[in-house]
C-alpha cells in the first residue's frame, strides 16, 4: 500500500453529514477547499459540548457550504444546565446555519456522565428538536434498549439520523421501520467491523448517509491519520461495493437523502 495514496474525486457531489471541523489540526479553509476539489460540496460540522457549540456556528457563518448543529454529546451531559439550554435554544433560531440538533444520545461504554443525567439531557434535547421542528442526530453506544425506549416517546416529523452506526441489528431494524437514516463512515473499511457491515447490508440506500466523524476514524488507506471530509469518496466506494450497487446511483440517492434530511423547507 502506498504511503501517500492519491485522493479520489467523486463522480457526483457528496454531503458530509458529520465532522468536527474545529477539532482538526488542518486549517478549516484548506479542508473546505480540498473537500470541494474531490466533490464534497456541503459539510455539516457537529456540536458536542459547551466549549464548541458556538465555534460550530461561527465556522458555518464563514463558509457558504458549511452548516452546523447545536447539541450536547452524552459524554458532556453533566455540563447541562438551564443557562446552556437557553443558549442552545437561542442559536437554534439561526436556521440558515443550524440544520439539526446533535449530536445527542446515550453512551454507556465510557459513561463520562452518569446514565440518569445522560437520559434526562437526551430527552430535553429531543424536546427542543420537536419544539423547533429540527431533525436530530443521535449518538448511541452500548445503550440500544434505552435509546429505543426514549426515542419511542417522541415524534420525528423533521427526521432522525443515527450517526456512526455500530449498534446491533435490533436498533437498526427499529430505526429503519421508522424511516430513520443511518450514518456510515470509515469503520466500514475496517477488517473487524463485521457488525457494521451487517447493518449496512440491511439498510436500503435511501436510508444511508455518508459521514467521516473527522478527525476520528479515518478510512483505509488512511487509517491512523487524522480523518478529513475529503476522504469521503473512499467511504462511498466501499459502501457501493458492500451493497453491490452502482456507485453513481448510490451517490445520487445518498446526496438527495442528505439534502432532504437537512433542508426540508
Cα–Cα distance, 122 to 139 (Å, whole number): 10
List pLDDT tens digits, range 154-195: 999 999 999 999 999 999 999 999 999 999 999 999 999 999
Q: Does the pLDDT of residue 2 top 60, yes or no? A: no
Cα–Cα distance, 70 to 265 (Å, whole number): 19
Q: Tell me the average pLDDT of the chain.
A: 97
Coil, strand or helix: which one is 26?
coil
Q: Is 110 exposed, middle or buried (0-12, 13-18, 19+ CB in 10 A)?
A: exposed
List pLDDT tens digits, range 117-165: 999 999 999 999 999 999 999 999 999 999 999 999 999 999 999 999 9
> Is domain 14-262 annotated with CATH 3.20.20.140?
yes
| Among the listed residues 114, 108, 110, the one whose alpha carbon sits nearest the alpha carbon of residue 79 | 114
What is the C-alpha radius of gyration for the chain, rounded to an integer number of angstroms?
17
Determine contact, residues 150/123, Cβ cutoff 8 Å.
yes
Cα–Cα distance, 146 to 139 (Å, whole number): 12
Question: Which pLDDT does position 24 carry in this prediction?
Answer: 97
Residue boundaries of the structural domains of the chain: 14-262
Amino acid at each position: 500500500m502506498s504511503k501517500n495514496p492519491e485522493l479520489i474525486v467523486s463522480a457526483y457531489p457528496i454531503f458530509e453529514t458529520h465532522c468536527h471541523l474545529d477539532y482538526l489540526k488542518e486549517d478549516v479553509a484548506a479542508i473546505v477547499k480540498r473537500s470541494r476539489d474531490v466533490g464534497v460540496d456541503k459539510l455539516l460540522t457537529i456540536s458536542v459540548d459547551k466549549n464548541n457549540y458556538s465555534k460550530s456556528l461561527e465556522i458555518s457563518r464563514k463558509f457558504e457550504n458549511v452548516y452546523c448543529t447545536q447539541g450536547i454529546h452524552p459524554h458532556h451531559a453533566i455540563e447541562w444546565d438551564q443557562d446552556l439550554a437557553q443558549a442552545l435554544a437561542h442559536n437554534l433560531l439561526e436556521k440558515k446555519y443550524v440544520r439539526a440538533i446533535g449530536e445527542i444520545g446515550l453512551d454507556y461504554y465510557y459513561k463520562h456522565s452518569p446514565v440518569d443525567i445522560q437520559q434526562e439531557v437526551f430527552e430535553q434535547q429531543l424536546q427542543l428538536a420537536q419544539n423547533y421542528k429540527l431533525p436530530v442526530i443521535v449518538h448511541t453506544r452500548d445503550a440500544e434498549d434505552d435509546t429505543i425506549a426514549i426515542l419511542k416517546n417522541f415524534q420525528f416529523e423533521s427526521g432522525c439520523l443515527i450517526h456512526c452506526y455500530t449498534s446491533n441489528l435490533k436498533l437498526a431494524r427499529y430505526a429503519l421501520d421508522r424511516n430513520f437514516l443511518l450514518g456510515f463512515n470509515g469503520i466500514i473499511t475496517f477488517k473487524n467491523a463485521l457488525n457494521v457491515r451487517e447493518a449496512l447490508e440491511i439498510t436500503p440506500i435511501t436510508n444511508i448517509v455518508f459521514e467521516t466523524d473527522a478527525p476520528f476514524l479515518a478510512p483505509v488507506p488512511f487509517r491512523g491519520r487524522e480523518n478529513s471530509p475529503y476522504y469521503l469518496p473512499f467511504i462511498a466506494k466501499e459502501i457501493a461495493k458492500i451493497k453491490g450497487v452502482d456507485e453513481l446511483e448510490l451517490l445520487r440517492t445518498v446526496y438527495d437523502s442528505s439534502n432532504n434530511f437537512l433542508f426540508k423547507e
